């Protein structure tokens, strides 16, 4: 969000610079837009009323319509949301693929001596972990 406000502030300053160059006001002092993230976000949420900059120069008041900031804001938000959805979908797909691979491997080797040995080791490990946690719980009650 802060990067969006920095980009908008930079684009506003670049727009002012372009306006001065187009009017031939090369040596006049340019107003600098200060970075105010809350103001940028507030004006970006207003979809109906876009900002217009009025700049007073030696040639008079010059109006400069700035980019449709609200459209940029909503597009960037939806782009980030879409990127997040794509990332989550990819992770779910990878997890489901790994579950499928393990399920196929389990069905393929079920009933063999190797699978029986792996099952015995897993059950022994689970029982060992349960005993360790039980001992830690009993010790914590004694202290």
Q: Residue 141: inside a domain, yes or no? A: yes
Regarding whether 118 and 66 lie in a shared domain, the answer is: no
Contacts of 91 (CB under 8 A, 6+ apart): none
Rounded Cα distance between 70 and 38, Å, is: 14
The domain containing residue 66 runs over which residues?
A: 2-72
Query: Do 76 and 70 form a contact (C-beta atoms < 8 A)?
Result: no
Q: Residue 82: inside a domain, yes or no? A: no
Rounded Cα distance between 83 and 27, Å, is: 45
Q: Residue 133: inside a domain, yes or no? A: yes
* Claim: this prediction has a pTM higher than 0.95: no
Query: What value does the mean pLDDT take over residues 39-62?
Result: 80
Q: Which tens digits make up the pLDDT trace of 52-105?
A: 788 888 888 888 766 677 778 888 889 989 999 999 999 999 999 999 999 998
Number of structural domains (the chain) is 2
2-22 and 69-109 helices, crossing angle to 10°: 140
């Amino acid at each position: 969000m802060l990067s969006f406000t920095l980009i908008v502030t930079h684009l506003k300053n670049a727009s002012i610079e372009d306006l001065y160059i187009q009017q031939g006001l090369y040596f006049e002092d340019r107003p600098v837009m200060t970075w105010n993230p809350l103001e940028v976000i507030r004006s970006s949420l207003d979809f109906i009323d876009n900002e217009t900059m009025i700049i007073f120069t030696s040639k008079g008041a010059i109006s400069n319509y700035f980019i449709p900031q609200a459209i940029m804001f909503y597009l960037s938000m939806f782009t980030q949301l879409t990127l997040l959805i794509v990332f989550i979908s990819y992770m779910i797909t990878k997890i489901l693929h790994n579950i499928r691979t393990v399920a196929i491997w389990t069905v393929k080797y079920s009933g063999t001596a190797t699978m029986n040995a792996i099952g015995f080791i897993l059950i022994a490990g689970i029982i060992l972990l349960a005993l360790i946690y039980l001992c830690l719980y009993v010790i914590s009650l004694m202290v």
